[in-house]
Amino acid sequence: MSYAYVNADTETVSYTIEEAEEQANVYRTQRNTLLAETDWWAVSDRTMTQAETDYRQALRDVPQQDGFPINITWPTKPE
Tens-digit pLDDT profile for residues 12-47: 777 788 888 999 999 999 999 999 999 999 999 999
Considering only CA atoms, which of 42, 23, 35, 79 is closest in space to residue 60? 35
Which is more confident, 2 or 30?
30
Q: How many CB atoms lie within 10 A of CB 59?
A: 19
Distance CA 17, CA 76 (A): 29
Q: What percentage of the chain carries pLDDT values higher than 90?
A: 63
What is residue 7's DSSP assignment? -
Helices within 9-61 (DSSP H only)? 17-37, 50-60
Predicted local distance difference test score (pLDDT) of residue 3:
61
Number of residues assigned to the chain: 79
- The pLDDT, as a whole number, for residue 5 is 58
pTM for the whole structure: 0.80
Query: φ and ψ at 42, to 5 degrees?
Result: -100, 15
Q: Per-residue pLDDT averaged across 2-6, rounded?
A: 59
